Structures are given as C-alpha cells and as structure tokens.
Structure 1
Amino acid sequence: MTDDGPLPKSVLARGVTLLRACGDSGTALTLAELALRTGLPKPTAHRLIGELVRLGLVERTPDGRYRIGLGLFVLGQSAPSVRELRDAALPYLGDLHEATHENVHLAVPDGTDTLFLEKITSRRATPIVSRTGGRLPAHCTATGKVFLALDPRPPHRTLHRLTPRTLVLPGQLARDLALTRARGFGVNLEEAEIGVSAVAAPVYAHDRDPRPIAAISVTGGTRRLDVDRVGARVCAAARALTRALSA
C-alpha cells in the first residue's frame, strides 16, 4: 500500500510512483528509502529505478542515492500549459516579491496536494521548506485551501497533521474553507511550518470560470506577515493575472 491507496499494478504506474517519491522528497534517496516510501518490493524498485536512470529521468548520485534527473525537468518544462502559465505569471510574482520581500509562489492543484510551479525568494525572505516542483498537502497550505474552497467535491481522505496548528477535523477545515470563499483568499497560519504563515488568491483561465487553474501566494514569518494587507496585494495580483490570461 502507498499513502494514496493500493499499490499500482502496471509497470508505468509503478514507475510514476517512484518518480513521485524522488520528486517529493527534495533530497536524494537510497533504494531502501524508495522501496519504503512507495511500498514496492525492493527488487522491483531496483529494476524500475535502473530503467528510469537509463532513460535520464532519474540520476544516481556518487554515493548510490537517486534523485530526479535533468531529463524529467526538461520534459516538464516543455508542457505548453505549464510554460504559458508560468511565463504569464512571472511579472506579477516579481512585483509581489518586490512589494513584500517574502517568498512568492505560483501553484496548481495536483490531486490532494498543491504543486508549486514557481517560487521567487531572496536572502531577505523567511526560509521555508517549499521549492519549485515540490508538493504539500492542500489542506495545510494557503494555495491548497483556495483549490479546496472552490472545488465542489469535499476531500474524502485522512487529513494528516504537519504541525500542532494543522486543521485535521473535517468540521474545522469546512469552516476555514467557507471563510476562504467569503473573503476571497486562503490563509495558512503555521499549519505547514511553525512560525510560517501564508496568504493565497485564486487565478482563473477566464473571468467567469467557476474553478481556478492556479493560485498565487506570499509566504513569510508569522510575526511580520500582515494577513489583510498582503491579502489585498495577492488578490490584486491574481486578478491581474486572470485578466492577462483571459485576453
């Protein structure tokens, strides 16, 4: 079993499971760690990871660990929808970073997670765990709450706790998502990292679309992040990007 359900049966699906494990970790993993994270038998993981290395999608480090390869990065960057969205968003992300001097993200929904397509940061920004290409559970991130709040399908899964402030009770999360819809932006108050909070607003392909295709967020230290002030800036940037995408 994997965290998302039964072990996939097809070779392709098992290969994707290994790729996701490599990508989600943020660090190189040993074969034993990959087998543990994916639930794959070690001989199967060894055979498949060797094929992924041969294809250039995974690379083997000098100490025998495995990490996402350059080939997969190039392949992902070639997706037109990802490239067009990222290129359109970069000016607005840059303006937000200049205004706040904090971490700025462009994220898209990915199953039960939020996937960070882009991250702009600097030495002045609060150090945080997120990274370009990384994922975090939607229920404990500001961008993820935007997606959940505007998705008519409720999350049918166990909500894992990342910090003592993570909302894991369905009723708590439902109230928070209702507040997200009412004010127009999502807020994460130390729910993914202690001492770190975030504000996010939805981005639509067209003004009249009911569900967002992406979200923009600003993430920083809780003590210096003014939620209302930053929320207004993030909403303005998200609306501007939506207009640009609609043109």
Structure 2
Amino acid sequence: MAHEIPVTEPRVRGKRPPQGDPVVDRAFALLGAFDARRRSMTLGELARRSGIPTSSTLRLAGRLVAWGALERDAEGRYSIGLRLWEVASLAPRAQGLKQVAMPYMGDLEEVTRQHVLLAVRDGDQGLLVERLSSHLAMPVLYRVGGRLPLHSTGVGLVLLAYAESEFQEEVLGRPLVHEPEKVAVSPAALRRTLAAIRQDGLHVLRRRAPQPLVSVAAPVFGADDRIAAALSVVVPLEHAEPRLLGPAVRTAARAISRGLGAQRSIGLVPAP
C-alpha cells in the first residue's frame, strides 16, 4: 500500500508565515478607534476599542507616537497627532478642490452668517472636507473630516443624485432610515428626489430635529464633467429664504466647477 507524501507549501524567501493581522492593519485599527466622541483614550480604552491585546497596543502606540501619528499627554491618554493631519492635508482630491472653493465659500458665509459645507463622496458616505461657520451660527451635527449619510443630508443627496446609476440602485435597494429622525426612507420617494435634483441642479432639505434647519445644496463638477463635490449652506428654519439662497448656492457651485475645469453648466449635466 502506497503511503501518501504530505505536500507542503514552498516557503517564499523573506516572507513570514501568517500570524494574525499584519502590523500595518493593527496600526490602522488603532487610528480608526478614534472618532468625534472619543478624541482621547487611555491605553486600556484604545486596546478595547481596537480589539488588539494591551501589550501589542502599547508597542504599536509607542511607534505611532514616535512618528507623530499619535500624541500622549501627561496623564497617559492618547490622541491623534498633528503629523497625521499634516499628511492628510496633502490629499490631492480635497486640496485642489478646497483651494478653488474657499473664496466662494467665504462669500456665502459672509452673506448667510451661518454654515457653508463642502463635501465629497467617499465610498457609500459623504465626507465633509471643509466647513466655514460664523461664530453666531446654529449648532450642526457634522464636523470637518466627519462622515455624512448620503440619503438624508443636503450635500449627501446631491452627491447621490449624480453618482453612477449602479451605485444609486445599490443604495435604493437597502433599508434606509432618515438620520437623526429615525424615520424609514421610501425608495420611491428617494428616487423622485434624486431625479428632481438632477433636473434642478439644486436641493432644498428642511429638517425639524434636532433643530429646525434648511440646507440648500448644489453639485460641483470637475474637469471630467462628473460630480466632484457638493456645496451647501445650512441656516435656521426661521431665517431661511430658499428663493434667495438657491441662486446664490448654485452660482457659487458653478463658479467652483469652472475653476476645476468643468465645461457644462450645473443643471445641464445628464443623469448618470
């Protein structure tokens, strides 16, 4: 009776066998443990949030502190370091966009004395890349670097309206809930909203909770005439005049689009 000879995988020179997550993935897990509600954490909190053993967390956090991605205060709490912000600020997708958009955003902020938002799509969410706010402006939920749901924010709906049709259908097929109201989204109503945005080149969103507000948002197009960002103003409901704000936001969005090299006018770009 023949004996089977066990087959072993050839070892690749210089490659270690798999032993859990790579170091870089664990480092990313540590950085990803921070959010707007947890801007600083103890070693134990960081280990629990990231799911990494405390000993490994201590070692990795030390390396990240040495590089500047994390900072550690006198009480031993960790927070995101300035070096990480410095590197992130070099992202070309946001940097060129912000340079073109800032003067027009400043004009809108001067007129409204409230909030002016600039967001891009990142995966299946919106990412707020800039926000100008008057010191008298009403409180808002989102901060620069924060993520926004596409289906229930002014800038998010604009980004979704001009996204690829395949992506739109994927989103429409999910069970969606308006945030922060926790009200179910009707796919048929959302489909009508997206069509209206593409037709008008503008969207006016009214919200009652947590504070009554109006968001007026318009698309910004890039040199390839595809959606690059969404621009909006957010004002208290009692002070909102969409008939005046709409043309101002649309004009600013068109000017930014031209600055980015777009050839077509907002409202004339065909549906995806």
TM interval, short-chain normalised: 0.7 to 0.9
Cα deviation for residue 149 of structure 1 reads 1.0
Cα deviation for residue 161 of structure 1 reads 4.7
3-state SS, counterpart of residue 191 of structure 2: helix
Q: Establish whether residue 218 from structure 1 lines up as the match of residue 230 from structure 2.
A: no
Q: How far apart, CA to CA, are the structure 2 residues paired with 1:63 and 1:195?
A: 40
1:86 maps to a residue whose letter is: K
The partner residue of 1:107 within 110, 119, 122 is 119
3-state SS, counterpart of residue 145 of structure 2: coil
3-state SS, counterpart of residue 126 of structure 2: strand
Q: How far apart, CA to CA, are the structure 2 residues paired with 1:46 and 1:158?
A: 40
1:215 maps to a residue whose letter is: A
Counterpart of 1:4? none
Q: Does the 8 Å CA contact 1:108/1:115 hold for their aligned counterparts?
A: yes
Q: Does the 8 Å CA contact 1:107/1:116 hold for their aligned counterparts?
A: yes
Counterpart of 1:149? 161
Change (3 A) 1:130 1:164: closer
Change (3 A) 1:232 1:104: same
Counterpart of 2:176? 159
| CA offset digits 1:180-221 (Å, max 9, x no partner) | 223212343328843233121111113x62x31111111121
Computing the radius of gyration over CA atoms, which structure comes out larger, 1 or 2?
2
| CA offset digits 1:204-247 (Å, max 9, x no partner) | 113x62x3111111112122222332122111100011111118
Q: How far apart, CA to CA, are the structure 1 residues paired with 2:83 and 2:239?
A: 39
Counterpart of 1:233? 248
Cα deviation for residue 33 of structure 1 reads 5.0
Change (3 A) 1:167 1:212: farther
More helix by share: 1
TM normalised by structure 1 equals 0.81
The percentage of counterpart residues that share the same residue type is: 39
3-state SS, counterpart of residue 78 of structure 1: coil
3-state SS, counterpart of residue 140 of structure 1: coil
Counterpart of 1:177? 194
The partner residue of 1:69 within 78, 81, 88 is 81
Q: Establish whether residue 96 from structure 1 lines up as the match of residue 113 from structure 2.
A: no
TM normalised by structure 2 equals 0.74
Q: How far apart, CA to CA, are the structure 2 residues paired with 1:13 and 1:91?
A: 39
Q: How many residue pairs get matched?
A: 237
Q: Does the 8 Å CA contact 1:150/1:212 hold for their aligned counterparts?
A: yes
Structure 1, unmatched stretches of 5+, are 1-7
Q: Does the 8 Å CA contact 1:199/1:218 hold for their aligned counterparts?
A: yes
Q: How far apart, CA to CA, are the structure 1 residues paired with 2:46 and 2:151?
A: 25
Residue correspondence of structure 1 range 198-209 to structure 2 within 5 A: 198-206=215-223, 209=225
Structure 2, unmatched stretches of 5+, are 1-19, 263-272
Q: Establish whether residue 125 from structure 1 lines up as the match of residue 137 from structure 2.
A: yes
Q: CA RMSD in A?
A: 2.9
